[in-house]
Amino acid sequence: MSELHWKTAITKIEPNKIFLRGYPLHELMGRITFSQAIYLALKGELPSEKVGKLIDAILVSSIDHGATPPSVLTARTVVSTGADLNSAVSAGILAISKYHGGAIEEAMGVFEDALKRMGEKGLSEEEVVSEIIKEKKEKGERISGFGHRIHTKDPRTQKLFSLAKELGFSGKYVSIAKAFEKGLEKVLGKTLPINVDGAIAALLCELGIPKELGNSFFIMARVPGLIAHIYEEKTRMKPMRKIHPTDHEYDGPEERKL
Amino acid sequence: MSELHWKTAITKIEPNKIFLRGYPLHELMGRITFSQAIYLALKGELPSEKVGKLIDAILVSSIDHGATPPSVLTARTVVSTGADLNSAVSAGILAISKYHGGAIEEAMGVFEDALKRMGEKGLSEEEVVSEIIKEKKEKGERISGFGHRIHTKDPRTQKLFSLAKELGFSGKYVSIAKAFEKGLEKVLGKTLPINVDGAIAALLCELGIPKELGNSFFIMARVPGLIAHIYEEKTRMKPMRKIHPTDHEYDGPEERKL
Amino acid sequence: MSELHWKTAITKIEPNKIFLRGYPLHELMGRITFSQAIYLALKGELPSEKVGKLIDAILVSSIDHGATPPSVLTARTVVSTGADLNSAVSAGILAISKYHGGAIEEAMGVFEDALKRMGEKGLSEEEVVSEIIKEKKEKGERISGFGHRIHTKDPRTQKLFSLAKELGFSGKYVSIAKAFEKGLEKVLGKTLPINVDGAIAALLCELGIPKELGNSFFIMARVPGLIAHIYEEKTRMKPMRKIHPTDHEYDGPEERKL
Amino acid sequence: MSELHWKTAITKIEPNKIFLRGYPLHELMGRITFSQAIYLALKGELPSEKVGKLIDAILVSSIDHGATPPSVLTARTVVSTGADLNSAVSAGILAISKYHGGAIEEAMGVFEDALKRMGEKGLSEEEVVSEIIKEKKEKGERISGFGHRIHTKDPRTQKLFSLAKELGFSGKYVSIAKAFEKGLEKVLGKTLPINVDGAIAALLCELGIPKELGNSFFIMARVPGLIAHIYEEKTRMKPMRKIHPTDHEYDGPEERKL
């Protein structure tokens, strides 16, 4: 044991035995979903099936958003130079930063702050929300998680909230998020609907995920999407093509029902 | 429409509408698992629940393997310098290369080659396997997916195969993988059991996943594990510590049952 | 010309003609050093030979610092998995962050702040330095660019300052940096000598480099060092070895004179 | 000393002493250029001033090539999301792969192969070159380092060759490169002039640089160019803009003379 000896509480490895947060990994296999295992890995406790279902919905909601996001353009550009798949994924993730995916962590911070102020100051949701919006406005800052370039009524937000309600996770944070939506309309005089990042932020708060892990849910969700784009680029396109950031069209299967 | 106009078959985006491979994303949410959505994103078709369950098991099997793998050490080293979470994930993925995670794609190639030779030459599984092992041996090459530094009887392999059987995916490729295990013992005179990479390779072949996507399953599975390590490093350790690659001990929850 | 049309002031490309900041690139070749070209690319103006010499010294000073820095360990760990050279360089650069290389930008900010306060408040160097040190101390913050884990009298710092003097770049910022060294000793009661990052910070301020580019000089300097380590790892070591972060010894050429 | 003890021959660190390949680093500072230090770090021996000058020219030749290369588009896209400078540089380098920068290593391999065949088979340059071109043509492969999308008579190539001659490095490899240019014209019936990658490849062969380090010269050269683009993107453009890959125009200083 050297002076560099250190400790970790994630996974225990012994010959022919692997324990994730104390659970034998092979016993988890076949009994919990990947989404439940993600929660277990990050939070240290096995989630209920309902939590697993909510995480499934969160991750499915953000798996891909077409070819326009900078992470996709980055990943496609890199693989187009002949790079390996892992390099292209890696580059794509480097583009998931402040302005792309970063809204989740920021919104979680705002929602947590609102709840804290409600408790500390004995103010109503409406009062706190109004206070925060004004403070932000004075500083010239936006509130992350509201408004979308394309979607005025994001179907993902609505589904996330209806699922959360159904599964029993529509608590204080969802309420606060909705209060912000109302408050923003009042103060700004225009509708800035909760976007998918804002909805995910509220739900991750409900699940007790620390906000420092907020963006990681976007990263985990988007990795398969990036891989789909990388594979399509590699198998369908010529290397070193010039990749137009917006002038592309969808030619996959027609709209279909489950 | 510029001369750079291009096409993509993954996701269609319209105001308030998002279609993944033709399916409205919000209808998928709450109805399919993340693992099913991964398959849909990559293969273009909605998988059955059974396929989803097998992918869940594959991803759960590889979510983490302790603090020793190079991807973990890389991610921890990077975050320890004060870097953002996405940078650390990205660096970790760069370490998932030929010798770490790369076995899946290589094994898929060997299993596909074996099946092809059986068909073309009219040889038995045993004959083809023996032929390939000899060829590899002459070239001084190893067959990927067999043998493990630590595990002589990997519990993940066994669970993957038993689940595959139960779910109805134990077909030709699983049989070929097992034939290689026997063949290697015969030729080399020592046991090189199918490791988790080899088992995953066989199952991805059964699911019709192209081998070029083999390692991507390892990447998708391991990203949450990397994030758990990055978060632990950030919240529990001092910045810029010297990270010993092996001298660490597990101090998480004791062994527990589901 | 699309609505996405944009402008750049760095390099003009025409058939058989390349102009860097207006200068024909082939005329620069053979007439200016790489260091001068770096200044031209970043600042937009051709530097004098003296500026070029100072940049040469800055870049040479930081080309490598042995096998212990996290960027080196990261790059070696990644290439050890069989990754390509560019992936390993890339991962190494991700480790050049806040606590590793980040001191240059931070120190530049402090030095600029000090000069600004001297002008605005009509205070002496000593007074401003003392003020800033006290403020930082109260906030529990360190002043970047002073003190070193190993070197109490860093030979690189002394050489950089003597060269700067010789070449005529020992101005206000160098003076401020030295005032901080004295001030820190007075306030803290212990010597925290200007380290190489602090010296580089002072000199980049003298050269009018914006502080946002401070760390980029460390990155540019260190890339060749990382490449030397990657190449050594690839040609001398076994793949997937466990890389001890400190227990290594130098076995290259004995000390020699120029 | 643990069982993980290892050795490195690059840099020796002692308190207040740093030796690069045996030379005290502070004695190198102010006496050699960055380019000479790069050679020393990579090759282990101090180069002559002439070698330094040739490396300077090589690195200056590739410092930037406008906003179109994938490495630039990648770096700009990443920084545009609010990422740190080091992340954007890192992503840019991931795009320096097979089809972008990769030609140097490939061409070095071809030139080395040609020289080897001349020695082994006692054939003339012309014969060997013709043999290799035919072999490549039969396999449907291109010879890297010849032809350019934009430049039919690349001014960088000509300058590199004239400098090499002047400095005394125009040897067998330059001759072989020129023989390939002639040979390609003969066999293909069209001119494929040596491009800058091909010229750099020939010169790095002359300098005894191993071909596995070929692309690293492109990476080292291009890092400052990437940084210039990242800084321009950050200071001049709006975050998250859609970056057109070709529709941009130069608006920097007019053509000017040294």
Reported confidence tier of residue B14, pLDDT bands at 50, 70, 90: very high
Mean pLDDT score, B158-165: 98
Instruction: Give CA–CA dist B21/A256, Å, rounded.
Output: 9
How many structural domains are present in chain A?
A: 2
Confidence of residue B40 (pLDDT cuts 50, 70, 90): very high
pLDDT above 80: residue A36 = yes
Element (H, E) at C110: helix C103-121
Residue B39 within a domain: yes
* Residues in chain B within 8 Å Cβ distance of A57: 29-30
* Domain identity same for C28 and C110: no
B165-179, D138-152, D240-254, range with the lowest pLDDT? D138-152
* pLDDT at A112 (0 to 100): 98
Residue of D18, D100, D220 for testing the chain C interface, max C β-carbons within 10 Å: D18
Q: What is the CATH number of the domain that holds B218?
A: 1.10.230.10
Clarify whether residues D210 and D153 are in a common domain: yes
Q: How far apart are CA C195 and CA C154, in angstroms?
A: 6
Q: What is the pLDDT of residue D152?
A: 87
Q: In this predicted structure, what is the pLDDT of residue C190?
A: 87
A212 and A178 in one domain?
yes
- Pick from B18, D36, A184: which is nearest to D23 by CA? D36
Specify whether D37 is located in the same domain as D88: no
Q: Write out the residues of chain D at the interface with chain A, using a CB-CB cutoff of 8 A.
A: 2, 68, 70-71, 73-74, 77-78, 80-83, 87-88, 90-91, 94-100, 102, 239-240, 242-246
Cβ–Cβ below 8 Å for B242 and C245: yes
Residues D136 and D24 in one domain: no
Contact C95 B78 (CB under 8 A): yes
> For chain D, which chains pass the contact test of at least 3 CB pairs under 8 Å?
A, B, C
H/E run at residue C180? helix C172-188
Q: What is the pLDDT of residues D40-68, one digit of tens each?
A: 999 999 999 999 999 999 999 999 999 99
Tell me which chain D residues have a C-beta less than 8 angstroms from the C-beta of C159. 26, 29-30
Report the alpha-carbon angle A100-B12-D87, nearest 5.
25
Beta-carbon separation of B9 and A229 below 8 A = no
B202 burial type by CB count under 10 A (0-12 exposed, 13-18 middle, 19+ buried): buried
What average pLDDT score do residues A162-174 get?
98
pLDDT tens-place string over residues C182-216:
999 998 888 999 999 999 999 999 999 999 999 99
pLDDT at C150: 87
* Residue C200 lies in domain: 62-244
Element (H, E) at C231: helix C214-236
Write out pLDDT tens, residues A62-93: 999 999 999 999 999 999 999 999 999 999 99
Q: What is the pLDDT of residue B102?
A: 92
How far apart are alpha carbons D64 and B238 in whole angstroms? 39
- For residue B11, which phi and psi values (nearest 5 degrees)? -135, 135
Does D56 map to a domain?
A: no
- Contact: A81, D99; criterion CB under 8 Å: yes
* List of chain D residues whose C-beta atoms are within 8 Å of the C-beta of residue C29: 57, 60-61, 156, 159-160, 163
The dihedral formed by the CA atoms of C235, C97, A224 and D230, expressed in degrees to the nearest 10: -100
> Chain C residues with CB-CB distance to B under 8 A?
2, 68, 70-71, 73-74, 77-78, 80-83, 87-88, 90-91, 94-100, 102, 239-240, 242-246
Asked if A150 and B41 come within 8 Å (Cβ–Cβ), the reply is no
Instruction: Check whether residue C170 and residue C42 sit in a common domain.
Output: no
Task: Tell me how many degrees the CA angle A63-A65-A66 measures, rounded to the nearest 5.
Answer: 120
Share of chain B above pLDDT 70, in %: 100
Contacts of C84 in chain A (CB under 8 A): 83-84, 87
| Interatomic CA distance for residues C197 and C221, integer angstroms | 12
Q: Residue for token digits 């300052």?
A: C161
**Rg of chain A over all Cα atoms, to the nearest angstrom:** 21
Same domain, A231 and A193: yes
Report chain A's mean pLDDT, rounded to a whole number. Answer: 96
- B1 pLDDT higher than 80: no
Q: How many residues does chain D have?
A: 258
Q: Does A4 sit within 8 Å of C245, measured CB to CB? A: yes
Look at residue C95 and give its three-state secondary structure: coil
Residue A79 and residue A158 share a domain: yes
Angle at D219 between CA C35 and CA C224, to 5 degrees: 60
Taking contacts as CB-CB distances below 8 angstroms, the residues of chain D near B4 are 245-246
Instruction: Flag whether A252 is in a domain.
Output: no
Biggest CA–CA distance in chain D, Å, is: 64
* Interval B190-243: pLDDT, tens: 899 999 999 999 999 999 999 999 999 999 999 999 999 999 999 999 999 999
- Same domain as A207, residue A148: yes
Q: Residue D1 above 70 pLDDT?
A: no
Average pLDDT (C19-40) is 98
Min Cα distance A245 → chain C (Å) is 9
- The pLDDT tens digits of the residues spanning C143-176 come to 999 998 888 889 999 999 999 999 999 999 999 9
**What's the pLDDT tens digit per position in A222-241?**
999 999 999 999 999 999 99
Confirm whether B87 is domain-assigned.
yes
Residue pLDDT, tens place only, A175-193: 999 999 999 999 888 899 9
Task: Give burial (CB, 10 Å; 0-12/13-18/19+) of A21.
Answer: buried
**Dist. CA B175–CA B128, nearest whole Å:** 13
| Residue C251 within any structural domain of the chain | no
Tracing tokens 């770490």 back to the chain, one arrives at B100
Tokens of A181: 């939506």
Q: How many CA atoms lie within 13 A of B88 on its CB side?
A: 29
Q: CB distance B33–A31 less than 8 Å? A: no
Q: Which residues pair with D7 in a beta bridge?
A: C249
Residue of C nearest to A87 (CA): C87
For the record, the structure tokens of A2 come out as 């050297």
C197 — phi, psi (to 5°)? -65, -45
Q: Which two tokens stand for residue D60?
A: 């200056």
**In this structure, are A208 and A157 located in the same domain?**
yes
Please tell me the predicted confidence (pLDDT) of residue A1.
61
Q: Let me know whether A105 and A225 are in one domain.
A: yes
Q: Which of D70, D77, D83 sits opposite A81 (nearest CB)?
A: D70
Mutation target to probe the B interface, by most B beta carbons within 10 A, among A42, A48, A56 is A56
Domain-embedded: residue A254 = no
- Residue C243, helix vs strand vs coil: coil
List the single residue in B4, B87, B245 with the smallest CB-CB distance to D87: B87
d(CA A14, CA A11): 10
Encode pLDDT of B121-136 as tens digits: 999 999 999 999 999 9
Q: Are residues A139 and A36 in the same domain?
A: no
Nearest to D61 by CA among D210, D174, D162: D162
Q: Is residue B255 part of a domain?
A: no
Answer whether residue D85 is part of any domain.
Answer: yes
Q: Which residues of C touch B83 (CB under 8 A)?
A: 94-95, 97-98
